[in-house]
Amino acid sequence: MSEAQSVEAFDVVDLIRSKRDRNELSTAQIDWLVDAYTRGYVAEEQMAAMTMAIFLNGMDRREIRDLTLAMIASGERMNFDGLGKRTVDKHSTGGVGDKITLPLMPLVATFGVAVPQLSGRGLGHTGGTLDKLESIPGWRANLSNDEMFAQLRDEGGVICAAGSGLAPADGKLYALRDITGTVEAIPLIASSIMSKKIAEGTSALVLDVKFGSGAFLTDIERSRELARTMVDLGNDAGVATTALLTNMNVPLGLAIGNANEVRESIEVLAGGGPADVVALTIALAREMLTLAGQPDADVEAALADGRAMDTWRRVIRAQGGDPDAALPVARETHTVVADRDGVLVQQDALPFGIAAWRLGAGRARKQDPVQHAAGIDLLAKPGDTVRAGQPLFTLSADEPARFARALESVEGAWRIGDPGEPVLDGGPLVAERVS
């Protein structure tokens, strides 16, 4: 070995064997592993073996905390102390039609709370907040830290892309997990989400952890475990953290896509919109404002009297967007109608999410573009009485050739039953609170 070469503290193969054999990794081992992987000393195939060992054998609370802190230490940490007001953020684990960030951020910011909403793009059947907002002409996702700070100070809220300097180890590790079948490992999900949120510098965080057909984790028990793990991580790091377990068995709202979800969000800010979107927006806003010291804030009034809409228009303009501009409209549509009288008893979220993706609303690879006008507009929800020939949902796309595969996706995903037949909606929208 030449003098220029450094001596590594550990051998990665020993660490892989240890986790393979269901042993705990020490704090020093985890710190070294994350650092060595970030700087390229640990090879991709070695880290792939480690992530699979973690997927199969898990980690205890101390190991997950150490992994999260090591990923935070791989990059910069933001600090909003100079704002002079409390900061509170929200993170959703994603689903079908989940546009809640769009009306939620301006609603909470209306009460003098800073909302630094660092968001991502869609991959697969789950939509991305940045993709939705880029439907607005001129809107800009990438801001410098100084621009973000100024917007939080002046307008109270921001939705933007996380900078590359924030937990870079997580960005590298997530890309690896995505291609090695280890995305669903709870220690890896929790440390991925919380490393970015803690590094972001918010003082409080509300988690929207979804379960059901269209969720990342379909089983409520697994979603509960994830919520508990992330709440513990946040509170251990000094970030006041709570979580709501929310139902994703049916699509959220009536719009699935990008531009159409922006339209639906604006309806909510105007005092209307689908009941489930309004209800979840209000529930999360109350949770965020409680953590920010305003448990009695009248969020319904801020939606009804236009204050939240005013904040929305200001923050869109601050990022170069035109809140009055027309949103994209697809060149082609295809409407599916009811084949009989009865009650819509089933509308399975995952197939509708896949259908929207196939129409062009999502991407198969991170570098793929999205078609902002593509998507699905639901014209009936589970529990609604329908008549034969009544429109149930409309597919929108710029290329009509996409309709056939989208229709294949939703075949068997919806069903009309007889009056009195149980509705398969998975129960209440908000199942429980974890604190």
For residue 366, what pLDDT is reported?
A: 64
For 293-334, write each residue's pLDDT tens digit. Answer: 999 999 999 999 999 999 999 999 999 999 999 999 999 999
Are residues 300 and 403 both part of a single domain?
no
Are residues 343 and 216 both part of a single domain?
no
Sign of CA dihedral 123, 125, 129, 135: positive
Are residues 209 and 101 both part of a single domain?
yes
Phi, psi angles (nearest 5°) of residue 377: -115, 115
Residue where one domain finishes, among candidates 302, 325, 348: 325
Residue 4 has pLDDT above 60, yes or no: no
**d(Cα 281, Cα 14) in Å, to the nearest integer?**
48
The CATH number of residue 386's host domain is 3.90.1170.30
For residue 216, what pLDDT is reported?
A: 84
Residue 3 has pLDDT above 60, yes or no: no
CB 174 within 8 A of CB 192: yes
Query: Is residue 318 in some structural domain?
Result: yes
Are residues 141 and 199 both part of a single domain?
yes
For residue 355, what pLDDT is reported?
A: 97
**d(Cα 221, Cα 435) in Å, to the nearest integer?**
16
For residue 2, what pLDDT is reported?
A: 45
Task: Report how far Cα 122 is from the mean position of its chain's Cα atoms.
Answer: 9
Query: Is residue 90 in some structural domain?
Result: yes
Cβ of 298: how many Cβ atoms within 10 Å?
13
Residue 164 has pLDDT above 90, yes or no: no
Query: Is residue 430 in some structural domain?
Result: no
Are residues 113 and 211 both part of a single domain?
yes
Of 162-171, 180-189, 262-271, the poorest mean pLDDT is in 162-171
Residue where one domain finishes, among candidates 325, 359, 388: 325
Question: Number of folded domains in the chain?
Answer: 3
Residue 123 has pLDDT above 80, yes or no: no
Query: Is residue 1 in some structural domain?
Result: no
Q: What is the mean pLDDT of the chain?
A: 94
Confidence of residue 1 (pLDDT cuts 50, 70, 90): very low
For residue 369, what pLDDT is reported?
A: 82
Are residues 285 and 408 both part of a single domain?
no
What is the span of the domain harbouring residue 387?
A: 332-417
Average pLDDT over residues 199-217: 94
**d(Cα 200, Cα 236) in Å, to the nearest integer?**
16
Query: Is residue 63 in some structural domain?
Result: no
For 376-397, write each residue's pLDDT tens digit. Answer: 999 999 999 999 999 999 999 9
SS3 161: strand
Query: Is residue 71 in some structural domain?
Result: no
Are residues 242 and 104 both part of a single domain?
yes
**d(Cα 216, Cα 186) in Å, to the nearest integer?**
11
For residue 6, what pLDDT is reported?
A: 72
Are residues 86 and 228 both part of a single domain?
yes
222: Cβ–Cβ under 8 A, 6 or more apart, which residues? 186, 211
The CATH number of residue 243's host domain is 3.40.1030.10
For residue 361, what pLDDT is reported?
A: 93
CB 25 within 8 A of CB 8: no
Sign of CA dihedral 26, 32, 35, 39: negative
Residue 54 has pLDDT above 50, yes or no: yes
Q: Which residues are catalytic?
A: 91, 170, 177, 192, 196
Average pLDDT over residues 196-213: 95
Q: Which residue has the higher pLDDT, 188 or 81?
A: 188
Query: Is residue 423 in some structural domain?
Result: no
Residue 238 has pLDDT above 80, yes or no: yes
The CATH number of residue 39's host domain is 1.20.970.10
AA letter at 36: A
Are residues 280 and 341 both part of a single domain?
no
Confidence of residue 36 (pLDDT cuts 50, 70, 90): very high
**d(Cα 257, Cα 355) in Å, to the nearest integer?**
10
Average pLDDT over residues 170-193: 89
Average pLDDT over residues 143-165: 91
Residue 287 has pLDDT above 90, yes or no: yes
